[in-house]
Structure formats: structure tokens, C-alpha cells
């Protein structure tokens, strides 16, 4: 019988996947091999067992661990290959490795049963009778109870830590700094772990108090306060930038930062926890009734409780005021106006601040504009060197985008444009890989011939005590040991592919793309939006240099099933690219050739190789720069249909 192994380990900071995954496989092999069966496929994930089944398969990246078990995919690929009949049964070390949620693990079990694929666990009887089902259901219930019980105890521990005045994690609020204390647990203290309390930072605490007074006493608005702070950044130092907002601009104040400070109850001296709800589809801030407060102040207050309550009262008035005003006498529309469609909605970014540019209809045309000034104010834009007005007409982008896609994605000369450049960039890594593999194969053949010659020497003498026989036996042992080492090295090289794409893979992917130029030319706004979504179009607008950067992703799901290329070294990958270079009026268009290859069915990071072609005043390529970076596999790169 052909078995598929499935393993799962929790997040990489809780366990060691390099030990857990192989250990689980060994437990399964100890059950399967005595039966005369074999494991023909290996699937494993590094993620929590409580995740929703639809979100599984996007856990921690396994490239940072030296995991010796090959990977054919995760739980999603397991179900897909089960439908293809790749194996007859699935085996796990324990049923909770499949999922710690009873409903999800039962759903997977029923799906496999529908496909005629059995599900077995190494710590259960290898039978499918009523008793084994009862045992499994009891174990599933215990696994889910264990997780929920652990969550409840952890929560109660966190609540008690809040009541005792300890900082519960994360950066200190603006105006405070963290004061370390020895950990009360002696074992954790010996490991260097500490607990922290908040202490006031005098300079920034004065800024916090001024913001509260400006808002509640002087009745300044968010915009006015933001401009006041940004006029003198030396005396009013801005908060540390959020990691997701990293860019090359100097830090400045934003309205959202001020609003967050005004709503933070820790400035009253009380320790507060459980304010934020990070679950999807839920409001960001929980109702105040669900907050956990320390019974007494745990650190020095920057503002009084009465001043903080005034913020809440003004916020309520701001929400209620517009509702109580008399409605304007606007003429009633007969039909409700439909929302305007922007084909590039969410795909255009500002190169300066990195934020998405919003769609705007002005003077009969669609535009995309940066909201930096709206979020931070004109004073902040001047201080950071960001233009106050930054926008680009949609027609300008679409003209260049259609030309780019027609030539680089669908045109007959797409191979001629990029194949040589990409082949040069990836040939080096693959050449070293192939040379090393060929060298080891040659050595393996030589060792096999040497072993054969030593065997012949044994047959030449009938006396087992002959010196030649003893020397031949010793030589055979040496050759066998070296042969095992060479075979292991070959296996490691085949598992670990170079961080690059084979030139033949690039050619096969490009040739498999269907010609959509007629559709592209006649597409309306809705169809253009669908095409942009299918090819993951992204646009980066650089106003100071008057350039735009276009990129597109080619996913295996876009290729016709009868044209999907297959390779002996690995499955179909994904690459992202853009290119070209022309000048139109005042706008110089820079096209960057970016190729990204993602081996879905192998562990490891997805390599990306970038080539940039900058065009200034001519169509000629002036220079190219190359760099290699690594990208974590994204959920949206697995299936276009799933979106």
C-alpha cells in the first residue's frame, strides 16, 4: 500500500521543526515498513493546529531550518494529490497533528474517505472499526480541550500580570520607556528574562500632555495639532515608525498617531490590556467593558483621568453632531449611483512613502493620488520632502501597461526580449549545481567500477586466508563507505535547488502563456480589472524622477492545463517580471524586469532575481543592475481562482 506522510509542528519559536518533523516521520515509518508498505509522498506544515482549514498551508517558512524530510506540499496539496490517486492512505504520528480542532480534522477525514483514501495514526490501531473510531474521537476531543484550557490559563495569567502592574508586551507608549526588573521566576531569571514597568520619559511626556490639552481644552482639531507638531520636529520628536511603514522619508507626525495617543488609557497611570481585537472581521478596538484594568495606578500618570474622559466625550459629540443636523435639500436621485470602477484600484503605490494611491475622478478622468498630505498634513509633506499634490492620470498608466503586457507577456518577441538576460543571471548558480552533481555522479560510477574490480579479485583466490583476499575485503569496506557518502551528497544536492530558475523553465513558462492581445485592446474597465487581478499587476509611481515601475506575475493557474509545463527537477513555478523602456511626453517610463520563481512543493524561500532597465531619453538600454532577495511564500500566489 502507498502511504502519504503528513506532519505538523507549531510555530518555529515554540518548537524545533528540524527535530519534530523527522521524528514524526520515523514514528510513521516504524508502523508502515513492518507491514511491507512504503511512504511515497511527504507533506508537512509549520503552523498552529488551531488555524482555520481554509487558511492552512501558509505558516512559517521552512527555509531557515535544515529539515531533512522532503516536502511535497502542505495540507492543501495533500488533499489535491489524494484526489489524483497519488497514494492509497495517509498516516500521521497522532491525529492532533492533522488539526487540533475536532471539526477540521473530521472534515479532512471525511474528504479523504470520500476519495477512497484511508487516514491512520501511528499511535492508534491500524484498523477502521467502530472501536478505533471511538478512540480517535476521544483523542480529538482531548486535543481540542487541551488547547482551549491552555488558552484560558494563559489569559488568566496575563490578566493577573496586568493587575500587578507589569507591562504586557509590545513597545512602550510614546512618553514612556521600559524599566527592566528581574524576573520573579528564578528559572527564567537565570535565562536572562526580565519583566518591565513603564516609567515616564520627561521630554516626550510633555508632548503627550500638550496634545491632550490642545484637543480637550483648546479644542484644536487633529489636523491643527498635527501641523503644530510637524512645524517643530526638534522640540516635538515624532514616534518611532511602524515597521510596515519603513521608507526613505524622515519621520513625521500623522493624524492616526495622535488619535491613537488620545485613545490610550495607559496615560492615566493605569495598566490596561485587551483593548485591541486582532481577529479578522472584528472592530480594531474592543468595547471598554471588555478592557482589563489594574485596580490601582501602576505607573506615573501623564494626564488625569478627567482629561482622558474629556477625549471620549468630545469623540461622542463628533459622532452624534452630524446625525442631528437638518438634512440638506439635495434633489433626490431616481436611481442610486453606482460606485465608480478603477481598474488599478489598490495596485498603484507611491514610491516615496510606499502607500497605496487612491482613485479619484477629476474633470472627467480617473486619477490615482497619494494621501500623504491627507494623513499627515502639508507641513509634514514639506518637512519630509514629499510633494503636497502627487497624482497620475489613469490613462497614462493604462497606455504603458497595455503596451508592456502586449510586448512582454503576450507578444511573439517576448522570449527574445528577456530570455538572454535571464539565462545569464541564473546560469551561474545552475551551472555550479549541475557541475557538482555531474562530478558526484562520475565519482559514484568510478566507485562502482572499483567495487566490481575488488569483487573479481575475491573470485581469483579460493583460499580465504590469502593476503589478497584480506586486502580486497578492506578495500571493499573503504569503497562502500565512500559510496554511501557520495550517494548522500547527491541526495542533498537534488533536494536543495539553487536560488534561481533554469533557462529552459523560463522558456517553457513564457511559451505557455496564451495570446490575449485582442482581449486586452478591447477590454472595458471591469475586464481590465480582472486581467490586472489575474496577473497581479503592480504599479509604483515615482514623481520626483518622473518614472513608473510596472510588474506582473505569471502563476501556474493562469496557464492552460494542456500547456502547463512540467520539469524533471521540480514542479511549475511562478515568476514576476516587467520590462521595456520608452519616453512619452514629460513622463519617462522605467520598466524593471523582475522574475520571481517559487517552488511550491519544496521547502525553502522563494528566490527573486531582479534586473532593472532604466530608460532616460532614448530606447537604448543604458545599464542594468542585479540583486537577489528572498520572499516568503504568499497565500495569494497559490490560486487565482481562490480569490
pLDDT tens, residue by residue, 258-298: 999 999 999 999 999 988 887 777 768 888 888 899 999 99
Q: Report the DSSP pairing between strands 358-362 and 365-369.
A: antiparallel
pLDDT band at 427 (very low <50, low <70, confident <90, very high): low
Interval 333-369: pLDDT, tens:
445 456 688 999 999 999 998 889 999 998 889 999 9
589: its cell numbers: 517610463
Mean pLDDT for the stretch of residues 217-242: 92
Containing 28, the helix (H) or strand (E) segment is helix 17-32
- Residue 269 sits in a domain whose CATH number is 3.90.1750.20
Distance of alpha carbon 113 from the chain centroid: 32
Q: How far apart are the first and last CA of the chain?
A: 37
Distance between CA atoms of 215 and 341, rounded to whole angstroms? Answer: 38
User: Does one domain contain both 306 and 201?
Assistant: yes
Instruction: Among 272, 291, 320, give the residue marking a domain's end.
Output: 320
Instruction: Give a yes or no: residue 505 inside a domain.
Output: no
User: Does one domain contain both 123 and 180?
Assistant: no
User: Does one domain contain both 112 and 187?
Assistant: no
DSSP state of 618: S
pLDDT band at 185 (very low <50, low <70, confident <90, very high): confident
User: Does one domain contain both 193 and 303?
Assistant: yes
Q: Report the DSSP pairing between strands 348-350 and 538-542.
A: parallel
The chain-wide mean pLDDT, for the chain, equals 77
pLDDT band at 580 (very low <50, low <70, confident <90, very high): very low
User: Does one domain contain both 88 and 212?
Assistant: no
Count the neighbouring beta carbons within 10 Å of the beta carbon of residue 196. Answer: 15
CA distances from 412 to 151, 187, 406, 418 (A): 58, 67, 9, 12
Note whether 47 and 61 are within 8 A (CB): no
User: Does one domain contain both 148 and 259?
Assistant: no
For residue 464, the enclosing domain spans 426-495
Strand partners, 119: 90
Sheet holding 547-554, edge to edge: 348-350, 538-542, 547-554, 575-577
Mean pLDDT for the stretch of residues 234-260: 87
User: Helix, strand or coil for residue 55?
Assistant: helix
User: Does one domain contain both 314 and 203?
Assistant: yes
Distance between CA atoms of 51 and 74, rounded to whole angstroms? Answer: 13
User: Does one domain contain both 103 and 194?
Assistant: no
Instruction: Give a yes or no: residue 326 inside a domain.
Output: no
Distance between CA atoms of 482 and 529, rounded to whole angstroms? Answer: 59
Count the neighbouring beta carbons within 10 Å of the beta carbon of residue 63. Answer: 18
Instruction: Give a yes or no: residue 573 inside a domain.
Output: no
User: Does one domain contain both 308 and 259?
Assistant: yes
Mean pLDDT for the stretch of residues 472-495: 82
Strand partners, 179: 197
pLDDT at 615: 27
Instruction: Give a yes or no: residue 48 inside a domain.
Output: yes
Mean pLDDT is lowest, of 174-178, 210-214, 409-413, for 409-413
Mean pLDDT is lowest, of 65-74, 414-423, 490-499, for 414-423
Q: What percent of the chain has pLDDT over 70?
A: 75
pLDDT at 612: 32
Interval 111-157: pLDDT, tens:
999 999 999 999 888 887 888 888 888 988 998 898 889 889 988 99
CA distances from 97 to 7, 10, 70, 404 (A): 6, 9, 18, 47
Instruction: Give a yes or no: residue 593 inside a domain.
Output: no
- For 33: left if phi > 0, alpha if psi spans -120 to 50, otherwise beta; the answer is alpha
pLDDT band at 466 (very low <50, low <70, confident <90, very high): confident
Handedness of CA 41, 45, 50, 52 (dihedral sign): negative
Counted domains in the chain: 3
Interval 79-103: pLDDT, tens:
989 999 999 999 999 988 888 888 8
- Residue 483 sits in a domain whose CATH number is 1.10.287
User: Does one domain contain both 141 and 221?
Assistant: no
Distance between CA atoms of 96 and 105, rounded to whole angstroms? Answer: 8
Distance of alpha carbon 441 from the chain centroid: 37
Mean pLDDT for the stretch of residues 521-535: 86
Note whether 388 and 350 are within 8 A (CB): no
- pTM score, two decimals? 0.66
Q: How many degrees, rounded to 5, is the angle at CA 376 between CA 375 and CA 380?
A: 155
Could you give the residue ranges of the DSSP H alpha helices within 496-545? 503-512, 517-522, 525-534
* Most confidently modeled range among 112-121, 431-440, 482-491: 112-121
Contacts of 197 (CB under 8 A, 6+ apart): 165, 166, 167, 178, 179, 181, 298, 299
Instruction: Among 158, 189, 220, give the residue marking a domain's end.
Output: 158
Instruction: Among 320, 351, 368, give the residue marking a domain's end.
Output: 320
pLDDT band at 557 (very low <50, low <70, confident <90, very high): low
Distance between CA atoms of 241 and 514, rounded to whole angstroms? Answer: 44
User: Helix, strand or coil for residue 427?
Assistant: helix
Q: Which residue has the higher pLDDT, 595 or 71?
A: 71
Instruction: Give a yes or no: residue 270 inside a domain.
Output: yes
Q: In terms of Cα–Cα distance, which of 559, 564, 555 is closest to 633?
A: 555
Instruction: Give a yes or no: residue 353 inside a domain.
Output: no
Note whether 507 and 419 are within 8 A (CB): yes
Instruction: Give a yes or no: residue 374 inside a domain.
Output: no
User: Does one domain contain both 133 and 51?
Assistant: yes
- Residue 148 sits in a domain whose CATH number is 3.40.50.1390
Question: What's the per-residue H, E or C state across 170-181?
Answer: CCCCCCEEEEEE
CA distances from 44 to 117, 235, 299, 602 (A): 18, 53, 46, 10
pLDDT at 464: 75
Q: Give 233's Cβ-side CA count (13 Å radius).
A: 15
287: its cell numbers: 468595547
User: Does one domain contain both 17 and 154?
Assistant: yes
User: Helix, strand or coil for residue 346?
Assistant: coil
Amino acid at each position: 500500500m502507498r502511504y502519504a506522510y503528513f506532519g505538523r509542528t507549531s510555530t518555529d519559536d515554540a518548537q524545533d521543526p528540524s527535530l519534530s518533523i523527522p521524528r514524526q516521520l520515523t514514528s510513521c515509518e516504524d508502523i508502515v515498513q513492518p507491514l511491507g508498505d512504503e511512504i511515497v509522498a511527504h507533506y508537512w506544515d509549520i503552523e498552529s493546529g488551531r488555524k482555520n482549514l481554509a487558511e492552512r498551508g501558509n505558516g512559517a517558512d521552512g527555509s531557515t531550518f535544515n529539515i531533512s524530510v522532503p516536502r511535497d506540499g502542505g495540507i492543501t496539496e495533500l488533499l489535491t494529490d489524494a484526489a489524483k490517486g497519488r497514494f492509497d492512505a495517509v498516516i500521521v504520528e497522532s491525529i492532533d497533528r492533522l488539526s487540533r480542532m475536532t471539526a477540521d480534522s473530521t472534515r479532512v477525514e471525511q474528504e479523504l474517505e470520500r476519495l477512497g483514501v484511508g487516514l491512520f495514526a501511528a499511535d492508534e490501531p491500524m484498523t477502521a472499526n467502530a472501536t478505533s473510531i471511538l478512540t480517535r474521537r476521544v483523542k480529538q476531543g482531548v486535543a481540542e480541550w487541551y488547547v482551549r484550557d491552555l488558552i484560558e490559563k494563559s489569559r488568566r495569567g496575563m490578566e493577573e500580570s496586568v493587575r500587578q502592574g507589569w507591562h504586557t508586551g509590545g513597545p512602550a507608549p510614546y512618553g514612556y520607556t521600559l524599566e527592566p526588573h528581574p524576573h520573579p521566576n528564578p528559572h527564567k531569571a537565570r535565562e536572562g528574562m526580565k519583566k518591565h514597568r513603564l516609567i515616564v520619559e520627561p521630554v516626550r511626556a510633555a508632548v503627550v500632555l500638550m496634545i491632550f490639552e490642545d484637543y480637550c481644552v483648546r479644542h484644536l482639531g487633529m489636523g491643527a495639532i498635527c501641523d503644530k507638531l510637524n512645524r517643530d520636529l526638534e522640540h516635538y520628536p515624532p514616534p518611532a515608525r511602524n515597521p510596515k511603514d519603513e521608507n526613505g522619508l524622515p519621520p513625521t507626525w500623522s493624524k492616526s498617531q495622535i488619535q491613537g495617543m488620545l485613545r490610550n488609557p495607559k496615560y492615566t497611570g493605569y495598566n490596561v490590556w485587551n483593548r485591541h481585537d486582532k481577529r479578522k472581521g472584528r472592530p480594531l478596538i474592543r468595547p471598554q467593558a471588555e478592557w482589563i484594568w489594574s485596580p490601582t495606578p501602576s505607573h506615573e500618570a501623564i494626564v488625569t483621568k478627567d482629561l482622558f474622559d474629556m477625549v471620549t466625550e468630545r469623540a461622542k459629540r463628533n459622532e452624534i453632531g452630524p446625525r442631528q443636523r437638518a438634512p440638506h435639500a439635495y434633489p433626490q436621485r431616481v436611481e442610486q449611483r453606482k460606485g465608480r470602477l478603477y481598474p488599478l484600484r489598490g495596485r498603484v503605490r507611491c514610491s516615496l512613502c510606499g502607500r497605496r494611491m487612491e482613485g479619484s475622478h477629476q474633470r472627467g478622468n480617473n486619477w490615482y493620488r497619494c494621501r500623504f498630505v491627507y494623513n499627515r498634513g502639508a507641513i509634514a509633506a514639506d518637512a519630509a520632502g514629499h510633494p503636497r499634490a502627487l497624482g497620475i492620470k489613469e490613462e497614462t498608466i493604462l497606455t504603458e501597461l497595455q503596451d508592456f503586457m502586449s510586448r512582454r507577456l503576450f507578444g511573439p518577441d517576448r522570449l527574445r526580449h528577456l530570455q538572454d538576460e535571464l539565462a545569464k543571471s541564473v546560469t551561474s548558480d545552475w551551472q555550479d549545481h549541475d557541475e557538482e552533481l555531474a562530478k558526484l555522479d562520475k565519482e559514484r560510477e568510478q566507485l562502482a567500477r572499483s567495487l566490481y574490480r575488488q569483487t573479481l579479485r575475491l573470485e581469483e583466490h579460493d583460499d580465504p586466508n590469502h593476503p589478497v583476499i584480506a586486502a580486497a575485503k578492506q578495500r571493499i569496506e573503504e569503497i562502500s563507505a565512500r559510496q554511501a557518502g557520495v550517494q548522500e551528497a547527491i541526495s542533498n544536492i537534488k533536494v536543495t535547488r539553487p536560488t534561481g530558475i533554469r533557462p529552459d523553465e523560463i522558456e517553457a513558462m513564457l511559451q505557455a502563456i496564451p495570446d490575449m492581445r485582442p482581449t486586452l485592446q478591447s477590454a472595458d474597465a471591469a475586464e481590465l480589472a480582472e486581467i490586472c487581478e489575474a496577473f497581479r499587476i503592480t504599479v509604483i509611481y515615482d514623481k520626483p524622477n518622473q518614472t513608473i515601475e510596472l510588474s506582473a506575475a505569471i502563476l501556474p493557474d493562469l496557464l492552460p492545463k494542456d500547456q502547463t509545463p512540467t520539469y524533471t527537477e521540480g514542479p511549475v513555478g511562478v515568476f514576476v517580471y516587467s520590462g521595456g523602456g520608452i519616453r512619452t511626453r514629460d513622463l519617462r517610463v522605467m520598466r524593471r524586469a523582475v522574475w520571481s520563481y517559487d517552488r511550491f512543493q519544496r521547502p525553502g524561500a522563494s528566490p527573486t532575481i531582479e534586473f532593472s532597465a532604466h530608460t532616460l531619453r532614448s530606447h537604448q538600454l543604458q545599464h542594468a543592475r542585479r540583486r537577489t532577495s528572498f520572499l516568503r511564500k504568499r497565500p495569494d500566489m497559490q490560486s487565482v481562482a481562490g480569490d
